[in-house]
Structure 1
């Protein structure tokens, strides 16, 4: 019997598997397809991502360095409101490569990672869980003391454990061009309902265009994306789509199971990104959860919420600004734009002494 069965080898799942294996746990990871595929997430991340990767990952995965963002209330050609630092604030990376690097680190730590294993059922028992999966050789059942649901926004483990859904799911779409653009700024357009569209330069790897919007919006996310790229006069390839969970449910733990990453909606409400939050929660889980003691799941709930709930709560407030009337958005962006001292993963840094001094210096 395994100590942990991890469903999903995205960043959160692989990070947890690596840390648990390093702690001497017997870990099995089941990935429903090929690690990193299909791509459904942006490759724009904070520089903190390298704290979670093995040595040498930055040199292999880095595509571009970003110094700031230009915000637009309208589409391409509309007024720009830049927010920037005189140092690198974020990186653009090979997103598929990140998943594979993290999965490789989990394997190197001793985790047993199996691709093309799709979880179909989870049964909790007094001292273990029984997990059924479709495999290349047919249906197989595995036993573990705990199951970690790291299987994305539409989580089968979450459903099987009877855990509540995220507060909201957005429809995200991505596409890429082969433009050679080593630009220092990403572009953010507040033109999608209740969210935004973006353009991210990836150096000689091309340019990423993306957009997210609530399901059922009219026009839908795909049509909005086509309009957005048409306004930029580009045609994208490698079109990708996926759900973005926003708002963690009231509980992400059951009797012998717990959720991590997108399955737990451990994401930034104002960008939808969840790589850093998911891996942060994974570290808390690896530190607090003892596979023989279901009572330690409460320790995991407290640990990750104590660390991230203020950031998530403030992130919801930031997102509300996306739905303000255009004149109010324009006035706010005009007043606040300029040099910043804010961390892209921690909106509480907006109230840091350093950033408040920066704002006061403009008055």
Structure 2
């Protein structure tokens, strides 16, 4: 019997698997398809991502460096409001490569990671869990002391454990052009309902275009994406789509199971990104949870919420600004644009001494 069965080998799942294995636990990780595929997430991340990778990852995965963002209330060609730093703000990376890198790190730590295994049921028993999955060799049931649901926004584990859904799910759409663009600014367009659209230069790897919108929007996310790329006069060919969970539920743990990453909606409400928050929560899970003691699941709940809940709460307030009247958006962006001292994953940094000093220096 395993200590943990981990369902999902994205960043959160691979990170938790690796850290748990490094603590001496026997870990089985099951990935429904091939690690990193299909792509359904942006490759724009903060520079903190390298703290979670092995040596040499940056040289292998980096595609571009970003120094700031231009915000637009309208579409391409509309007035823009730049926010920037004099040093690198964020990185654009090979997103599929990141997943594979993290999965390989988990394997090297001793994790039994199996691709092509689709989980169908999760049964909690008094002293163990039974996870049934279908793989290349047929259907098999694996037993463990605990199960970790790291299987994304539409989580099978969450449903099987009877845990509550995230507060909201957005429909995200992503596509890539073959433009050669080494630019060091991303473009953010506040044109999608209750969210935004983006353009991210990836150096000689092309340009990433994307947007997110609530399901049921009229027009829908796919149509909005086609309009957005048409306005930029680019053809991204086929594009990928996926759900973005926003707003963690009151509980992400059960008797012998827990959720990490997108399955737990551990994401930034103002961008939808979840790589850093998910891996941060994974580290808390590996530190706090003892598979022999279900009571330690409460310690995980407390630890990750203590670390991330304020950032998530402030992120919700930032997102509300996307739906303000255009004249208010223009006024706000105009007032705050310029050199900044904020961290892209930490809304609390808006109140940092560094950022306040940048604001005061403009007056």
The answer to whether the superposition gives a TM-score over 0.5 is yes
Question: Gaps (5+ residues) in structure 1?
Answer: none
Paired position in structure 1 for 2:57: 57
Structure 1 window deviating more from structure 2 (283-292 vs 133-142): it is 133-142
In 2, Cα distance between the equivalents of 1:343 and 1:361? 18
Paired position in structure 2 for 1:190: 190
Alignment of 1:161-200 (within 5 A): 161-200=161-200
Q: CA deviation at 1:237?
A: 2.7
The secondary structure found in structure 2 opposite 1:172 is strand
Paired position in structure 2 for 1:204: 204
Residues 209-238 of structure 1: per-residue CA shift (max 9 Å, x gap): 000000000000000000000000000034
Residues 214-266 of structure 1: per-residue CA shift (max 9 Å, x gap): 00000000000000000000000341100000000000000000000000000
Paired position in structure 2 for 1:349: 349
Q: CA deviation at 1:281?
A: 0.1
Alignment of 1:146-295 (within 5 A): 146-295=146-295
Structure 1 segments, 4+ long, off by >4 Å, are none
In 1, Cα distance between the equivalents of 2:240 and 2:55? 30
Paired position in structure 1 for 2:99: 99
Paired position in structure 1 for 2:335: 335
The secondary structure found in structure 1 opposite 2:287 is helix
In 1, Cα distance between the equivalents of 2:337 and 2:66? 16
In 2, Cα distance between the equivalents of 1:360 and 1:56? 39
The two structures have a TM-score, normalised by structure 2, of 1.00
In 2, Cα distance between the equivalents of 1:131 and 1:174? 32
Paired position in structure 1 for 2:316: 316
In 2, Cα distance between the equivalents of 1:177 and 1:236? 5
The secondary structure found in structure 2 opposite 1:217 is coil
Aligned residue pairs total: 363
User: Over aligned residues, Cα RMSD in angstroms?
Assistant: 0.5
Q: CA deviation at 1:357?
A: 1.4
Question: Gaps (5+ residues) in structure 2?
Answer: none
In 2, Cα distance between the equivalents of 1:353 and 1:58? 29
Residues 7-59 of structure 1: per-residue CA shift (max 9 Å, x gap): 00000000000000000000000000000000000000000000000110000
The secondary structure found in structure 2 opposite 1:297 is helix
In 1, Cα distance between the equivalents of 2:165 and 2:73? 32
In 2, Cα distance between the equivalents of 1:123 and 1:84? 50
The secondary structure found in structure 2 opposite 1:355 is helix
Paired position in structure 1 for 2:361: 361
The secondary structure found in structure 2 opposite 1:237 is coil
Residues 56-90 of structure 1: per-residue CA shift (max 9 Å, x gap): 00000000000000000000000010000000000
In 2, Cα distance between the equivalents of 1:354 and 1:228? 35
Residues 283-337 of structure 1: per-residue CA shift (max 9 Å, x gap): 0000000000000000000000000000000000000000000000000000000
The secondary structure found in structure 1 opposite 2:58 is helix
The secondary structure found in structure 1 opposite 2:9 is coil
Paired position in structure 2 for 1:141: 141
Paired position in structure 1 for 2:307: 307
In 1, Cα distance between the equivalents of 2:41 and 2:309? 22
In 2, Cα distance between the equivalents of 1:340 and 1:107? 40
Paired position in structure 1 for 2:84: 84
